Amino acid sequence: MTIIPNSFQVQAKATKWLTWKHPQQLPTLLKPYPWQTIKILGEGTNILLLKSLYHEPIIQSHYKALHYKITKDEVHLFVGAGYHWDDLVQFCARQHWWGIENLSAIPGSVGAAPIQNIGAYGSEIKEVLTKVLVYNLKKQTFQWLKNQDCQFQYRDSLFKQLNPNPFLIVAVCLQLSTRYRPNLSYKDLKHYAEQYLTPPYTPYQIAQAVRTIRAKKLPDPTQLGNAGSFFKNPLLTQQQFTQLKQRFPSIPYFKEQTKYKIPAAWLIEKAGLKGIRKNGVGTYPKQPLVIVNYHAHNGKAIYNFAMEIRKKVYEAFGVWLELEVRVWE
Ligand code: EPU
């Protein structure tokens, strides 16, 4: 039995734990199992495990290939699913390649990054991802999915939508740039750069700036169990937003095409739930969108707490929060 790594630090084990270092191993490794039962794990940093024992096969990638080619001012990378995401960010930033520096310090693996289209500080992986090499569990073949095929949206993709999902991510291809192109669209990052840095910035400086900003707000999962934002920021229709703004004129928002994205952290705070604790679980006092595990041993306690938060936010604002974290039942 293997302990399932998870950043919520709940106790859970797997009876069938599979790992792979090279794509060639996949067909033989996975052949014995019905494809619908296979669970794919990255580093367990965006997952809530509800059971203490899993009998389904769980597969984790240890494939750490990293290849790149530079043509003019473009850098084309091929990175194995088992590469640690933040190591990739640091590597690219040190090379002076632009494109993923704002995604610095996000926990997890490269293979998990496209699943929820990781995003932070004004960037999302979909902006630099060109294609994904997948192993189709159902057809038992390798195939390429182009960026468009992945149906990326805010914290969402084809891989998250399909249930069961037949695509195991083997490697991702990214296109970065050697041309100066800092993205300071996010207010906190812009302020930080203006205060502490002098242009022209380097990707490494931006990556470090993001790391510092994150560390001020977000708990380190190795110190305090958490999986980052537990819920997504809700996208409201014009009508929903207008009604809410009449009641709460100070509500912060970001216009996204025809929708209005409002910070779930604000809703949680205004509902009086910032920093609360119950049964060893709480909302993080500096960023209440993060649910933290003080001393709960099982995922159900965390799940129940989160459902209470969701219910109370709904009662206060009529807004139903969607989970960002993935729950393994
Ligand atoms: N806010 C409050 N109270 C708080 C904290 C925040 O009202 O205690 C409000 C403020 O209005 C603030 C706004 O929430 O301006 C946004 O807060 P923040 O910049 O911390 O970002 P967020 O929207 O809560 C999102 C991502 C994070 C990402 C940051 C930075 C989602 C679900 N979360 O959080 O991603 O790091 O932006 O880009 O979109 C993650 O996905 O796990 C994650 C941490």
Of 22, 41, 61, the domain-final residue: 61
Quick one: pLDDT at residue 297?
87
| Domain annotation covers residue 211 | no
**Is the distance from the beta carbon of residue 120 to the nearest atom of ligand 1 less than 6 Å?**
yes
- The pTM of the full predicted model, rounded to 2 decimals, is 0.97
**Is the distance from the beta carbon of residue 252 to the nearest atom of ligand 1 less than 6 Å?**
yes
| Domain annotation covers residue 208 | no
Enumerate the active-site residues.
155, 229, 324
One domain, residues 102 and 151: yes
Question: Which of 76, 80, 79 minimizes the C-alpha distance to 68?
Answer: 76
| Domain annotation covers residue 183 | no
Token readout for 302 is 């965390």
Quote the ligand 1 centre to 204 CA distance (angstroms): 23
Quick one: pLDDT at residue 63?
98
| Protein residue with its CA nearest to atom 24 in ligand 1 | 265
Dihedral (C-alpha) 194, 124, 110, 220: value to the nearest 10 degrees?
Answer: 50
Quick one: pLDDT at residue 57?
98
**Is the distance from the beta carbon of residue 217 to the nearest atom of ligand 1 less than 6 Å?**
yes
Quote the ligand 1 centre to 266 CA distance (angstroms): 9
Q: How many domains does the chain have?
A: 3
Print the domain residue range for 45. 2-61
**Is the distance from the beta carbon of residue 128 to the nearest atom of ligand 1 less than 6 Å?**
no
Quote the ligand 1 centre to 79 CA distance (angstroms): 28
> What's the rounded Cα separation, in Å, for the pair 26 and 147?
23
One domain, residues 136 and 40: no
| Domain annotation covers residue 198 | no
| Domain annotation covers residue 217 | no
Quick one: pLDDT at residue 184?
98
One domain, residues 57 and 70: no
One domain, residues 41 and 108: no
Average pLDDT, 10 consecutive residues per value, the chain (329 residues):
98 98 98 98 98 98 98 97 98 98 98 98 98 98 98 97 97 98 97 98 98 97 97 97 95 94 98 97 98 96 98 97 97
- The conformation of residue 139, written as its DSSP 8-state character, comes to T
